[in-house]
Chains A and B, each alone.
Chain A
Amino acid sequence: MNRIRSNLLKLSGFLKAGAMAGAIALATAGCATMATTADPPSAPAAAVSQTASVKPVTPPPDVTDCAIVTLSTPTLYACGGKVYTVFQLQHLREQASAAKAGE
């Protein structure tokens, strides 16, 4: 009986220690998740160097700089030695505008 009581006491102590460890772990985890908002701000992104090797972006052809090939459906224009439909020119122009707006 004494042994059982002793064993029970030991078990109780173990359980208490484990519970406390678990609580400490949970508390630590909770603090860890909250700590991100309080992290020190990251260093600002390095400015692009003027001398950095950035690939130049070719501007799209402008319809005003193009010659009429055919007035039809669709109209064809010649720009830079290539022939485009008006839909292609419009699409290229809108793509370039969107890219410029996103910069």
Chain B
Amino acid sequence: MAFFGLNNRTRGKRLAGGTLWLALAALAATLFYATSPLFAQATSGSAGPALSGAASGSLTLWTDPKTGQVFTRPGRGRVPLIINTGGGASAQHAVEEQLEEQRARTAKLARQLDQEQKQTAAVTKQVKDVTPAWQDYLANYKNKVSIGTQVWFGYSLFSHTGWGPQYLTQQTWPGPGNDGYNNFFLHRGYLNFFFFPTEDWTVRVTPNIYTMQGSTANQALGGNAGIPNTNVGNLGYRIKYAYLQYNTPFKNLGIDAIKTDKIVIGVQPQPITAWEEDLYGYRFVNLTTWNMSEASTYPGLSVQGPITFGKDNLQYIDYNIGVFDNASFHAFEGTNTKEVQGRVSVYPFGARWRFQGLGITSYYAFGYGNNTPDQAQLSTPFKGPNSEIERLAEIVHYDAENWGLAFEYDWGRNAWSPGNMFSGSGPAAVYGLTPNPAVVPKSVAIAQAAYVNLADALLNNGRSYQQGYNLFGHYHLPETRYTLFGWIEQWNPNTQVKNDPFDFQRVVLGVAYQWNEYLRFALDTQNTLFYHSQYNMPVSYAKKFNWSAPKGFTGSSIPDVVTRDTHMFMLNAEFVF
């Protein structure tokens, strides 16, 4: 009978030396494969499975006592050899228990992992939900808010100082006898805030600097101390613009020509000045005509916009019509009336952009002096402050991308006061002050007072008529960053006066340099020329306009009524963002 595949001859040779080793090897193999049930065979020698006892924890072999051979089956002369396997089944059971325990632990870990994955997915979803909200907010904020600035700064050098109107807002200088006066000054410092909550609405808030000027009185502090007045000369901030603009009031009327027109309510630009400043392009150098006597901004309500026609949507009409306070943005309203202002610009050949090509513009304003009703009717020698006020401008203009030219005719009624005449510098008496007697002898001071009374008489009498002519333009030198510009003007503050000593011409000539899209510089000369020859005005003529002699004046003529010219050079800078 075969024993592990060896033939009888070979087995016989090896039995003597290797019997025990073979038995041990068989035992080891059996133990190693003890997971499989080993079939027991009865000791009677019946055929059957060779090995048995694994299920019960023991191993039965057969051995021949004579030879010492070990057999896996019973046979003649063989006796059972029972080997105790030491609880194989229990070991198997223990292993199975351990495996079961391991399986349970693994299942638990798998459940935990699944739960954590679900939690992670939930958190990820939450983060995804949150992030787009922030992104959406920032994206919307970026598209709904616009913040910028507009800063104008200059250096002026007066070769000849004199009395006259301002060249620029916030600019003042000492009177005659102060040649060489020069200064740096900031004359505009806008902070522009635009909000576009929806396409239908725009909100603008623009603070602007102004030079504080007020009472020069110092103030007492307690019973034995005083403090100086620190207001004068400081640059403070005030509101220049604060308005709400309705962008689409006419959008759904079915009239394409006016679908982009707007309604504006609040402190806003009046119809002529801001428009003309953009047409001229060099407002950072000098004021436009009506801005010498009229504020650029009023509280009010206006309708404005282009009127377009044709398939190319060309602009044929641009208008701004509104009703405003009689008081400007830096004064208290006192009247019980309102001022109406309107500008209409016609472009007969159509304009691709705002000023393009030939345009004809008309501007008209009708209002009243800013005075309360109970005082407006009082009898006064000079009714100017209480009078009806009219302003008119007719402008023919042509604008191309590299040059522009305009001619303007202006007419006004009670639209020019001594305050406008001397907004840059004027005699002390214009402002109710007494000149320094160490500088101005008494006789000269009296003459100046007579001159001031003449200004009141001719400019503030409530029946003055103004007239002016103006030519302005610019030309960009090709292939350079330089542009030549100029403003030449004649202004007659009262056409009712023969040989009005206050008639003047204003001449501005300069060259601008464009540094980049935001920054420009200009070097220019600005001159106020009182072009009449000097003369003494007879008192008899002056009295026709309600002139009255100041205290101490006894002459028959008012001496030297034509004031001296003012000449200035200026270096200007503009930063607009």
Give A83 to B278 CA distance when docked, in angstroms.
14
Across the interface, do A74 and B148 meet the contact criterion of CB distance under 8 Å? yes
Contact call B149/A67, Cβ cutoff below 8 A? no
A73 to B277, CA, bound (A): 15
The 0/1 profile, CB within 8 Å of A marked 1, for residues 150-165 of chain B is 1000000000000000
Which of B146, B150, B404 contacts A71, CB < 8 Å?
B150
Q: Is the interface of A mostly helix, strand, loop or mixed?
A: mixed
Complex: how many Å from CA A93 to CA B194? 26
Say yes or no: is A65 at the interface (Cβ < 8 Å to chain B).
yes
Q: A64-B481, A86-B518, A90-B517 are in contact. Are A73 and B148 (CB under 8 A)?
A: yes
Interface size class of B (residues with CB under 8 A): 20 to 34
| Interface size band for A | 20 to 34
Task: Mark out the residues of chain B between 469 and 516 whose CB falls within 8 Å of any chain A CB in the assembled complex.
Answer: 476, 480-481, 483, 514, 516
Q: B402 near A65 (CB under 8 angstroms)? A: yes
Which of these, A67, A75, A81, contacts B576 with CB under 8 Å? A75
User: Roughly how many angstroms separate A48 CA and B250 CA in the complex, as a whole number?
Assistant: 57
Q: Are A69's CB and B278's CB within 8 A?
A: yes
Q: Scoring B residues 346 to 380 as 1 if CB is less than 8 Å from chain A, else 0, what string do you get?
A: 00000011111000000000000000000000000
Q: How far is the CA of A90 from the CA of B576 in the complex (A)?
A: 13
Assembly CA distance A87 to B148 (angstroms)? 12
Chain A residue at minimum C-beta to C-beta distance from B281: A68
Using known A-B contacts A63-B516, A90-B516, determine if residue A73 contacts B401 with beta carbons closer than 8 Å.
no
- Whether B440 sits at the interface, judged by CB under 8 Å, is no
Per-residue B-contact encoding for A40-78, CB less than 8 Å = 1, 0 else: 000000000000000000000001111111111111011
Q: Which residue of A lies closest to B192 (CB)?
A: A73
Docked Cα-Cα span, A64 to B479, in Å, equals 9
- The answer, yes or no, to whether B410 is at the interface (CB within 8 Å) is no
Knowing A72-B192, A73-B192, A78-B356 are in contact, say whether A67-B150 is a contact too (CB < 8 A): no
A-contact 0/1 string along B265-286, CB 8 Å cutoff: 0000000000001100101000
User: Which residues of B line the A interface, CB within 8 A?
Assistant: 146-150, 192, 194, 277-278, 281, 283, 352-356, 399-402, 404, 476, 480-481, 483, 514, 516-518, 576-577
Q: A72-B150, A73-B194 are in contact. List 4 more A-B contacts (CB 8 A).
A: A67-B353, A67-B401, A89-B517, A90-B518
Q: Could you pull out 21 A-B pairs where Cβ atoms are within 8 angstroms?
A: A64-B476, A64-B483, A65-B401, A65-B402, A67-B353, A67-B401, A67-B402, A68-B281, A69-B278, A69-B353, A71-B281, A72-B192, A73-B147, A73-B150, A73-B576, A78-B352, A78-B356, A78-B401, A87-B517, A89-B517, A90-B517
